[in-house]
Amino acid sequence: MSAQRRASGSVDALGRRVTLNAQQRSQRARLGALTMHADGKTNTAVARAKGEARFREEVLARAAERGEKLTELEIVRRTEQTRKLFFARIQFESLKARGKKKRRAKRVA
């Protein structure tokens, strides 16, 4: 496939069709992402809110099992700790998996 056929089209400020190569498309995407983040916008707000709600529900369920009455401040604190624990476990499992992969590679070599 020729480079011309792989190149993506775009429209300039005057509405003219412009052909972009892979590097130019990548740079255009980078500029868009930087602009979005510079404006304080992200496209992950819904996902982050659902994740936080999941951790909050977990904290409330555990407290209910134990018969605890939690203040809002304590719920927020425990929710943050639950989130940190979740990601620390993921990190730990990742480290173990990478260690196994590294050991396997040494045995083969």
Domain boundaries, the chain: 3-38, 47-108
C-alpha distances out from residue 42 to 36, 45, 102, Å:
6, 7, 36
Average pLDDT of the chain to the nearest whole number: 86
pTM above 0.85, yes or no: no
DSSP secondary structure of 70-98? --HHHHHHHHHHHHHHHHHHHHHHHHHHH
Confidence of residue 105 (pLDDT cuts 50, 70, 90): confident
pLDDT at position 5 over 50: no
Number of residues written out for the chain: 109
pLDDT at position 95 over 70: yes
The enclosing H or E element of 8 equals strand 8-11
25-34, 54-63, 87-96 — which is least confidently predicted?
A: 25-34
Distance CA 93, CA 70 (A): 31
pLDDT at residue 39, as a whole number: 78
Distance CA 45, CA 80 (A): 17
Among 37-51, 77-91, 94-108, top mean pLDDT goes to: 77-91
